[in-house]
Amino acid sequence: MSPRSCRCQTVLLPVRDYDLDATMDSGQVFHFAAVGGGWEGVVGRDWVRLGKEREAISVSFVARDAPERSQLLERVARFLQTNVDLSRIVATFPNDGVMERAVQVCRGLRLLKQEPWQCLASFILSSTKQILQIRQICAVLSERHGPAVDAESVVARWHGFPSAEQIARLDEKDLRACKAGFRAPYLLGAARLVAEGKLDLGGLDEVPIAEARSRMMEVRGVGRKIADCALLFTGSHAGAFPVDVWVARALRELYFRGREMPLRELEHFASEHFGPHGGYAQQYLFHYVRVHGLKPQAARRTSTRPP
DNA sequence: GGCCAGGCTATGG
DNA sequence: CCATAGCATGGC
């Protein structure tokens, strides 16, 4: 049938200072696909297409009755955090030249609020993987083992991300077949802990960050960095500050003149320097160095490399 | 074809 | 305590 006769409805979510592309493409979420200038993916159990509008984000979805529609829109707004006043967060960033440039360059970059299990699982799969490959693994995992959802996409059939229960029923070799590699047993172990109720991801925002971290790090395959990603990108702890290879490089080059620094010291510096929304600042640093490199003031080591 | 990727665990000093 | 090999897989 013709894809133009659409069962879709579209609603506008008003928002200012929101760069949807940067946000979706900044390595915090791996389950949306760029389609025709917008983004398609699954929120909860519902397929959505997100589009950029003036002072708004358009949300398209398969038509349904009024109560379900308002529930869906509430979930999408919560996921996108459209109610967050970005300027209030940016105002808490440290008053240094590095963050001023990062804010200029990444204007409108946001943090999303993702579902805890999906977020943790994705970052377990992220270790020593490029962002493109993380997306691929998540896509295969969803296609093969996640719930099919009703979608009006013209480019793909969509599935949700498999629940902890669904993954817990699988075998390690099923996960290796999805390109999970050596992370397969880690993901399986995490899924079993969550499915058996031995790890309550929903309660982690109610305990101090140190406690939340150590609970998560009891999962094999989850260290400090992945724990902080899961705490930050689910909106549980605004002070979580994941230090990966990019952020470590950025901190060394931009704050320590390129000097070698132990990871622990970088993490400690970050927790002191970037304020109550350190995690947000971290995302600006990450995106800044990934998109623009470290050239502006720290080109010493790379100056022989062609631009 | 070599290097590196939003790391972590185990092992050896 | 700190340092590093090993781990799967694929993009560039």
- Which pLDDT tens digit goes with each residue over A144-198? 999 999 999 988 899 999 999 999 999 999 999 999 999 999 999 999 999 999 9
Report yes or no: A260 and A247 within 8 Å, Cβ to Cβ: no
**Weakly modelled stretches of chain A, pLDDT under 50:** 2, 296-307
Residue A148: name the closest of A139, A138, A140, A158 by CA.
A158
Which nucleotide, over all strands, has the C1' atom closest to the CA of A242? B6
Size of chain A, expressed as the number of residues it contains: 307
CA A249 to C1' C3, whole Å: 19
- Nearest residue for B9, CA–C1': A221
Q: pLDDT at position A300, please?
A: 37
Residue A101: name the closest of A259, A296, A298, A302 by CA.
A296
**Rounded CA gap, A20 and A22, in Å?**
6
Which nucleotide, over all strands, has the C1' atom closest to the CA of A244? B6
Query: Over the range A147-159, which residues count as b (16 or more CB within 10 Å of their CB) and which as e?
Result: eebebbbeeeebb
- Nearest residue for B8, CA–C1': A221
Place of tokens 């899924």: A191
Which nucleotide, over all strands, has the C1' atom closest to the CA of A181? C8
A248 Cβ contacts chain C strand, under 7 Å: no
**Rounded CA gap, A234 and A210, in Å?**
16
A181 Cβ contacts chain C strand, under 7 Å: yes
Cβ contacts, strand B, under 7 angstroms: A 26-28, 123, 126-134, 182, 217, 220-227, 229, 242-247, 282-283, 286
Place of tokens 């003149």: A257
- Which helix (DSSP H) or strand (DSSP E) does residue A252 occupy? helix A245-255
Which chain A residues in 33-52 sit with Cβ < 7 A of strand C? none
CA A127 to C1' B6, whole Å: 7
pTM: 0.94
Tell me which nucleotides of strand B come within 7 A of a protein CB: 4-10
Distances, alpha carbon A272 to alpha carbons A102, A214, A224, A278, A286, in Å: 19, 20, 17, 9, 18
Which nucleotide, over all strands, has the C1' atom closest to the CA of A249? B6
For the sheet containing A33-35, what is the strand order? A8-14, A56-62, A46-53, A38-43, A33-35
Q: pLDDT at position A297, please?
A: 42
A259 Cβ contacts chain C strand, under 7 Å: no
3-state SS class at A1: coil
Which nucleotide, over all strands, has the C1' atom closest to the CA of A180? C8
Report yes or no: A267 and A224 within 8 Å, Cβ to Cβ: yes
Report yes or no: A189 and A220 within 8 Å, Cβ to Cβ: yes
CA A291 to C1' B8, whole Å: 27
Tell me which nucleotides of strand C come within 7 A of a protein CB: 2-3, 7-12
Those residues whose C-beta lies under 8 Å from the C-beta of residue A88, and which sit 6 or more positions away, are none
**Rounded CA gap, A238 and A173, in Å?**
36
A262 Cβ contacts chain C strand, under 7 Å: yes
Residue A290: name the closest of A103, A32, A25 by CA.
A25
Q: pLDDT at position A294, please?
A: 79
Report yes or no: A285 and A102 within 8 Å, Cβ to Cβ: yes
